Structure 1
């Protein structure tokens, strides 16, 4: 059965949880068990998704067992089908000969002879999706980010028919990924906007694409703006502690260059906690707040495109 793996930024777990909850046509959802998976799995369960959890090294074992189960099921189905076909063929052959004999007698001519049959429609296989979320702190170092993603691509390619990189370009750290993995035995997919361009970052994903992102930035008319999705709003303190006081979280730098927080809501992380986190950030860095509605379109379309392509290739193979 086809396997679509997803290497995801923890910052995009809301979007990923949403698209997975909307997909009711999966064979199985597997989440790689690590520190980042705890909150993600909790979100999945809160929206009625029940994944299986395995350490990354155990995923191939589960997939092998799942494929063996499917093989045995198919084997038994084919065996029974062939057996019934042969049995019916022999039975019908004998039956027809006997019928010809009986039809010489007027009484038996009244017995109808049914030669009709049923055809079975073959359904496409439902895919297994394997999700591996990587930690937030990788954004602080583009080389480290690329190294971690590349390492996980190599590991997951061994059991995947396709891998969706659930990241933006993140400072162009992933711009050479396709070229670097041109000999990969499975396909790579990316988060793309309506122009087919890989999105710049997680904010571009949340706003619906690079053009929308640029439009929002221009609307500020030169005012420095910080964009907070629910995940950013709930994680900035943790990232600040891990950042070694880089400009992204330096008090004096932020207060000098940024005056406004853009609060970007989404379908599954709205409410009082989000409001509180944004307000706390704005007060910490002396910023005003403006609100915008986020979009799941980039995440949804990119996921479905990758999934459908993997399933299509599995059928053609």
Structure 2
């Protein structure tokens, strides 16, 4: 029995659905029972998958019924990136729990303000490898991808190149477009003065919004929501070609790391 754990941001819900639904090696997908995972469950079911939904404490016993490759998924709220300390604390809690029953953990996060810069050292006492989404530029070793936009645009190098000519652009992937009010906690006083408003974004230099087309079909209102965002903020809409290649490679690398000993 080999078990991969996934801990990630709901912003990657579409990408996680895509890699899991198209992986023929998976025997069983476990979704931990809570509200953050409801969207993922719905999308996996729309792809014909039949995930097992259980509270975390019941999964260990159910795993004993399988001798093949299983995946356990726990997603986290989209607004956590605003508070790096809370993001780190919640992620560490879930990683600690997950590491007790899985063989490896793939973090569906970017660097996120260096919130996870010490995670390898902080969990060195476990034998469970823990890896973030990774990118390798030309001639470089693997490094964590900068953020979810960099992941959608093909990696850190491509992201930086795009930023050179689009420094006035706000980027929206499908999940960002549909959930931006939740992700930025619009109207939440806990942001301590952060005002997500047309005036504030223009003060920061934004004039355009980019529709980052990852070609994933799960958010049917993607284009509509980008248009609504552009109208509300007075931005011009442009389109950028996205990709799921980086996510797919990171997932496959972790899967190969776990399954390779079984194939020797």
* TM-score, length of structure 2 as denominator length: 0.91
Residue 11 (str. 1) matches residue 11 (str. 2): yes
- 1:178 and 2:116 equivalent? no
Structure 2 residue ranges without an equivalent (≥5): none
- Listed one character per residue, the Cα deviations across residues 172-200 of structure 1 (whole Å, up to 9, x for unaligned) are 11111111111112111221113411101
Aligned to 2:173: 229
C-alpha contact (below 8 Å) 2:174/2:219 kept by paired residues: no
2:213 to 257, 265, 274: 265
C-alpha contact (below 8 Å) 2:135/2:155 kept by paired residues: yes
Contact 2:43 2:218 in 1 (8 A): no
Q: Provide the residue aligned with 2:135 in structure 1.
A: 193
Distance in 1 (CA, whole Å) between partners of 2:70 and 2:216 is 24
Does structure 1 residue 25 correspond to structure 2 residue 25?
A: yes
Q: How does 1:1-317 map to 2 (within 5 A)?
A: 1-64=1-64, 66-67=65-66, 70=67, 126-195=68-137, 196-220=142-166, 223-239=167-183, 240-241=185-186, 243-244=188-189, 247=194, 249-256=196-203, 257-269=205-217, 273-313=221-261
Deviations 1:200-255, CA, capped at 9 Å, x for gaps: 111011111000110110012xx421100000000012233365355472332113
- C-alpha offsets along residues 37-66 of structure 1, whole Å, 9 cap, x if unaligned? 1111111111222211111222112113x1
Report the more deviating stretch, 53-62 or 158-167: 53-62
The total of aligned residue pairs comes to 256
Structure ranking higher in strand proportion: 2
CA distance in 2, matches of 1:183, 1:176: 13
Aligned residues of 1:230 and 1:269 also touching (Cα < 8 A)? no
Determine the C-alpha separation between the residues in 2 that align with 1:270 and 1:132. 19
Distance 1:153 1:271, change over 3 A: closer
- On the 8 A contact 2:2/2:70 being kept in 1, the answer is yes
Which one scores higher on RCO, CA 8 angstroms, separation ≥ 6?
1
| Contact 1:6–1:132 (Cα < 8 Å) also in 2 | yes
Distance 2:50 2:157 in 1: 35
Give the SS at the match of 2:144. coil
For residues 248 and 228 of structure 1, do their structure 2 counterparts lie closer, same or farther at Cα, with a shift above 3 Å needed? farther
Measured against aligned partners, the alpha-carbon deviations of 1:80-134 in whole angstroms (never above 9, x if no partner) come to xxxxxxxxxxxxxxxxxxxxxxxxxxxxxxxxxxxxxxxxxxxxxx411111111
The structure whose residues are more often helix, as a share, is 1
Gaps of 5+ in 1: 71-125
Deviates more, 1:202-211 or 1:304-313: 304-313
- Residue of structure 2 equivalent to 1:122: none
Q: Name the larger-Rg structure.
A: 1
Cα distance between partner residues in 2 of 1:127 and 1:29: 9
| SS of equivalent to 1:5 | strand
Q: What's the CA shift for 1:158?
A: 0.7
CA distance in 1, matches of 2:220, 2:227: 10
RMSD: 1.8
Q: Deviations over 1:135-178 (max 9, x none)?
A: 11211100000011111111011101111111111111111111
* Structure-2 separation of matches of 1:308 and 1:168: 21
